[in-house]
């Protein structure tokens, strides 16, 4: 099946720990994105990548890091510097930036 896969679906982290969220797509899309969704707010862009080995900060990049070593993979690391990491994280991809985005099923991260 073609699509975008996020794992895990649920993730629990202790304060002070880094954690990495996985995102893989087999749609041959150049652009990939990470969004954060909080209750009552629209999706906010964390990082995006338009091509392999290149990525740019979004609106709320502080406390997060990414890599884009392969076209199909765009992992997101939530570091201990992120003060309020509990949220629903969505990964998306598109042919190029501004085109229709296809979303994964999301990862719900909870800090305990």
Partner 1 sequence: KNQVEQSPQSLIILEGKNCTLQCNYTVSPFSNLRWYKQDTGRGPVSLTIMTFSENTKSNGRYTATLDADTKQSSLHITASQLSDSASYICVVSADKLIFGTGTRLQVFP
Q: Are 104 and 93 in contact (CB under 8 A)?
A: no
Contacts of 86 (CB under 8 A, 6+ apart): 109, 110, 111
Residue 71 CB, nearest distance to partner 1 (Å)? 20
Coil, strand, or helix at residue 9? coil
Q: Which of 90, 93, 109, 111 is in the footprint of partner 1 by CB under 8 A?
A: 90
40 binds partner 1 per the rule CB under 8 A: yes
Near partner 1 by CB under 8 A: residue from 16, 41, 69, 112: 41
DSSP-derived secondary structure for 49-78? EEETTEEEE-TT-TTEEE--SBTTB--EEE
Q: Rounded to the nearest whole angstrom, what is the least distance from the CB of residue 38 to partner 1 in the complex?
A: 10
Tell me: does residue 42 bind partner 1 (CB under 8 A).
yes
Among 20, 28, 105, 110, binds partner 1 (CB under 8 A): 105
Q: Please identify which residue in 34, 104, 109, 111 interacts with partner 1, judged by CB under 8 A.
A: 104
Asked whether position 2 contacts partner 1 by CB under 8 A, the answer is no
Round to whole Å and give the CA distance between 112 and 110: 6
C-alpha–C-alpha distance, residues 56 and 46, integer Å: 9
Is residue 85 involved in binding partner 1 (CB under 8 A)?
no
């Amino acid at each position: 099946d073609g699509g975008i896969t996020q794992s895990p679906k649920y993730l629990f982290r202790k304060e002070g720990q880094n954690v990495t969220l996985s995102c893989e797509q087999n749609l041959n899309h150049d652009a990939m994105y990470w969004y954060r969704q909080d209750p009552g707010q629209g999706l906010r862009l964390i990082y995006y990548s338009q091509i392999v080995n290149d990525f740019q900060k979004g609106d709320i990049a502080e406390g997060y890091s990414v890599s884009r070593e392969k076209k199909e993979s765009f992992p997101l690391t939530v570091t201990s510097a992120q003060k309020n990491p509990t949220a629903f994280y969505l990964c998306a991809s598109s042919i190029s930036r501004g085109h229709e985005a296809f979303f994964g099923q999301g990862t719900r991260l909870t800090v305990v």
